[in-house]
Structure 1
């Protein structure tokens, strides 16, 4: 881990030595106190220090990204990102660069990215999800971002440029990389312009059924309304379907959000649930805010209070 951190520092310093590469060091620090019924940092259901948990707004991280202008409108870049546990300073994931590890080429024709990265279904959900895809997102936790999750390993992905607010993203992972009988694909179509955000995603991983999610958000000044419908499935072809509705209100530095999901079919647990998250945030600056959230998830009650700083 020390060697990796030294490499990070060298990469960051190279942004000074080679300005044309535009290398940037960035990160997030997020910690607080909370309770996760499914087992917290020490495997208990007790109130404890939380970092990188379901009830943190985000996971603390340190990342480095860079871009080089190749001329003729063509650019090349990379992104490496690791998770950190502020409870004890340990690496948050099994693999050091588990959050992002990719290289890309881009231009007026779009961006082609190779490596570990966000899935198109996640990017689509972010278009209309009310908490900013926080760790405690009820939509993300209930339906696992249309069944495919946040990130994909060994992915080949293409993202189009924006056409009047319309963007498309397509990712593919070979069956060899998955170690499964079939390959995986994921498609996201997004529209974000002014007060409107709409997204449709569809994906299939080997033996799963085709998963999909359709959602939208509309901003009404200080208020926003959102709704979605999802079908997610697993490798046993068990399905979970349902809809989500929510609203948020912004009053100066305060933002309050209530987001709900309701199953119409749930073969994952055999019981249909109504889940929900209530969140309150107060912005101390453009980069720092405090938050409190309560998440009701499949018969568990979870809460967290914390502070997040972006740098």
Structure 2
């Protein structure tokens, strides 16, 4: 009898502990048709290997990359929580894995610990520069974002870092900041830091971010978005490690389920070639809260690219 009571107590305690934990499977399915003239896969100018109308998945002219991920969180009590996030890219063309970092979990592989004092995160993750730009960028950091493709993510060429240690402050009336750091043994002998400061409260979103690698050049970006009624305006200034710098200006208008966005960038300095004016026109129609169709045209460094697709979030 005593053993039965003890077993029931253990089961009850285990159930209570499990009730404090949760694991979520999530993902994105995004594909369409389009034409990408800006390099093969949309990353390198001057290569017209993909200059044909074809199926698009994880390309320059899809809204985003298809992915599947799992994330979990455990309530440790006293306001303290622990969690993880693993995420893998997926090519809807043939079902192959698209690991942004070369591995299966190339999009995310990290562990975090957080509380009222903020959050520490360790592993492969989106860097602070990305979140700085995402605060004000009009397309939600789409693959065809004219700002990201011209200047990177607040001047950072990549949105993710390996082996990153980061600390993010709690939200303080709309203000937050994050500092990421990579030790030199984890980055080819060159330590790297990345930082942002964000204010997002009501109709105003402001993001400032900067990054630098040892023996490298400073990159930074600052942007502002102001939303009013059914409209939003955004402007920014970015310096991509003194190789390319300039500004952006754009706006979006919402008409019920349909959203129209126009965004443009202009170089004030470009060591890669002549100064460019790039622009994007995007239309999105929401079929539900999780699914929308989109059409976009992107003029990027002298090339014309376009796509038509559908995205479903789950």
* TM-score relative to the length of structure 2: 0.90
Residue of structure 2 aligned with 1:251, choices 252, 255, 265: 255
Partner of 2:162: 153
Q: SS at the partner of 1:270?
A: coil
Structure 2 Cα separation of the partners of residues 102 and 147 of structure 1: 21
Partner of 2:8: none
CA shift for structure 1 position 19: 4.0
Q: Does 1:68 align with 2:74?
A: yes
Gaps of 5+ in 2: 1-14, 43-47
Partner of 2:57: 51
Structure 2 Cα separation of the partners of residues 138 and 295 of structure 1: 7
Structure 1 Cα separation of the partners of residues 142 and 274 of structure 2: 25
Query: What's the C-alpha RMSD, in Å, of the aligned pairs?
Result: 1.6
Partner of 2:172: 163
Gaps of 5+ in 1: 1-14
Structure 2 Cα separation of the partners of residues 122 and 184 of structure 1: 15
Partner of 1:23: 23
Preserved contact between residue 262 and residue 272 of structure 1 (Cα < 8 Å):
yes
Partner of 1:104: 112
CA shift for structure 1 position 148: 4.2
Structure 1 Cα separation of the partners of residues 21 and 57 of structure 2: 33
CA shift for structure 1 position 43: 4.0
Preserved contact between residue 231 and residue 251 of structure 2 (Cα < 8 Å):
yes
CA shift for structure 1 position 99: 0.5
Q: Deviations over 1:255-279 (max 9, x none)?
A: 0000100000011x12111011110
**Which structure: larger Rg?**
2
Q: SS at the partner of 2:149?
A: helix
Preserved contact between residue 151 and residue 157 of structure 2 (Cα < 8 Å):
no
Q: SS at the partner of 2:97?
A: coil
Structure 1 Cα separation of the partners of residues 166 and 303 of structure 2: 36
Structure 1 Cα separation of the partners of residues 251 and 205 of structure 2: 14
* TM-score relative to the length of structure 1: 0.90
Residue of structure 1 aligned with 2:183, choices 174, 198, 214: 174
Q: Does 1:117 align with 2:120?
A: no
